[in-house]
Amino acid sequence: MRGFKQFLLRGNVVDLAVGVVIGAAFAALVAAVVKDLLMPLIGAVAKLPDFSNMSFTINGSKFSYGDLLNALLAFLIAAASVYFLVVLPINRLMSKVKKTPDPNTRQCTECLSEIPLQARRCKFCTATTSLA
């Protein structure tokens, strides 16, 4: 039981659980925005009072394509939100943080440490012939 408790209290499991809960709440929020705001707006423009009730029948089988359109729009809004509110800012931040190589240094081929261009010997491994 101790190992199971240790597993559950690891950071990764707790972070994943928090992410799943927040993701479910976000999905419910997006679904509500689509169902209660966007679809009635689209329905008003298309002169249909209830977009989610749109369907057609073939041989007694009912196909509710309005629900499909609601789900598709909810997915597109969620994907766009994640992309524009999470992915783009993180990529922008990572590009600023990304270390650019110093033009006044070079890399030792023996220990891969950064050394000045004028150095004749690596200060970390004291290699002389392997300096490129």
Nearest partner of 70 among 105, 100, 37, 115, judged by Cα: 37
Shared domain check, 17 and 77: yes
Instruction: Give CB contacts under 8 A, 24+ apart, made by 98-106.
Output: 106/131, 106/132
- Written as tens digits, the pLDDT of the chain (132 aa) is 888 877 777 767 778 888 899 989 988 888 888 778 877 787 788 776 566 778 899 999 988 888 888 788 878 888 888 888 888 998 898 888 877 778 888 888 888 888 888 888 888 888 875 555
Shared domain check, 57 and 32: yes
Shared domain check, 113 and 56: no
Query: What domain count does the chain have?
Result: 2
Map residue 116 onto helix, strand or coil.
strand
Q: How far apart are CA 72 and CA 52, in angstroms?
A: 12
| Rg from Cα positions in the chain | 28
Q: How far apart are CA 102 and CA 105, in angstroms?
A: 6
Domain that holds residue 10: 2-98
DSSP secondary structure string, 20-89? Answer: HHHHHHHHHHHHHHIIIIIHHHHHHHTT-S-GGG--EEETTEEE-HHHHHHHHHHHHHHHHHHIIIIIHH
Shared domain check, 87 and 107: no
DSSP conformational letter for 106: E
